């Protein structure tokens, strides 16, 4: 259920390379833990992120949770659909619920992330 085309952080973000663009979101596990998402606070286009930095906040009915940048780079697009339909994060965490597109500044950083099998092992360790 966690796509093998993605890389993952231990904080439950995913990133998928699409040509020279990295698409970022949160995992199905993360949305399930958060419950109904009601607001996603995203950075402005043009901002430069560094790997591991807080780039935004996802707010569910229950709580606010920080979002961590899986890769360094410049934000080139944010998912405007989330402004009116934040529940896309719940319904389609790996597709329509994506959050950011980033132009990665250092692809070697991918090596610090988990692959799908590694992420699933990480999830098991949490329970």
Partner 1 sequence: MPVQYPTGVLAEHHAVRDRAGLFDIGHMGQLEVEGPDALEFLQWVTTHDVSRLDVGAAQYSLLCDEQGGVIDDIIVYRLAETRYLVIVNASNTEGDWAWIEGQLGRRGRGVNPDRVMLRRLSERTLLALQGPAATGVLAGLTPADPGALANYHAVETSVAAVPAMIARTGYTGERGYEISFDATHAARVWSALLEAGKEAGVVPCGLGARDTLRLEAGMALYGHELTRETNPYEANLERVVRHEKGEFVGAAALRAVRDSRPARRLVGIELVDRGVLRADYPILIDGAPVGSLTSGGPSPTLKKSIGMGYVPTAHAADGAEVQIDIRGKPHAARIVPLPFYRRPRPVPRSSSRKNA
Q: Which residue stretches of 1-127 are H helix?
A: 28-34, 81-84, 88-91, 116-125
| Site map 67..106 versus partner 1, x via CB under 8 A | ----------------x-----------------------
Distance CA 31, CA 40 (A): 12
Contact flag: residue 59 with partner 1 (CB under 8 A): yes
Considering the complex, state which of residue 38 and residue 116 has its C-beta at the smaller distance from partner 1.
38
Contact flag: residue 62 with partner 1 (CB under 8 A): yes
Interacting residues of 22 by C-beta distance below 8 A, sequence separation 6+? 15, 16, 70, 71, 73, 101, 102, 103, 104
Considering the complex, state which of residue 57 and residue 121 has its C-beta at the smaller distance from partner 1.
57
Given the rule CB under 8 A, which of 33-41, 43-51, 102-110, 111-119 is the region that contacts partner 1?
33-41
**Where does the chain show beta strands of DSSP type E?**
7-8, 13-18, 21-26, 37-41, 48-49, 54-60, 64-68, 73-78, 100-104
Contact flag: residue 107 with partner 1 (CB under 8 A): no
Residues engaged in binding partner 1 (CB under 8 A): 35-36, 38-39, 41, 57, 59, 61-64, 83
């Amino acid at each position: 259920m966690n796509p093998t085309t993605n890389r993952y952080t231990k904080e439950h973000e995913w990133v998928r390379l699409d040509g020279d663009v990295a698409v970022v979101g949160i995992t199905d596990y993360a949305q399930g833990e958060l419950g109904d998402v009601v607001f996603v606070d995203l950075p402005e286009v043009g901002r430069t992120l560094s790997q591991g930095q807080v780039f935004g906040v996802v707010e569910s009915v229950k709580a606010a949770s920080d979002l961590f940048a899986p890769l360094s780079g410049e934000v080139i697009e944010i998912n405007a659909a989330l402004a009116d339909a934040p529940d896309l994060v719940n319904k389609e965490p790996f597709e329509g619920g994506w959050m950011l597109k980033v132009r990665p500044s250092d692809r070697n950083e991918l090596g610090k992330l988990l692959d799908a099998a590694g992420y699933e092992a990480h999830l098991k360790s949490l329970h």
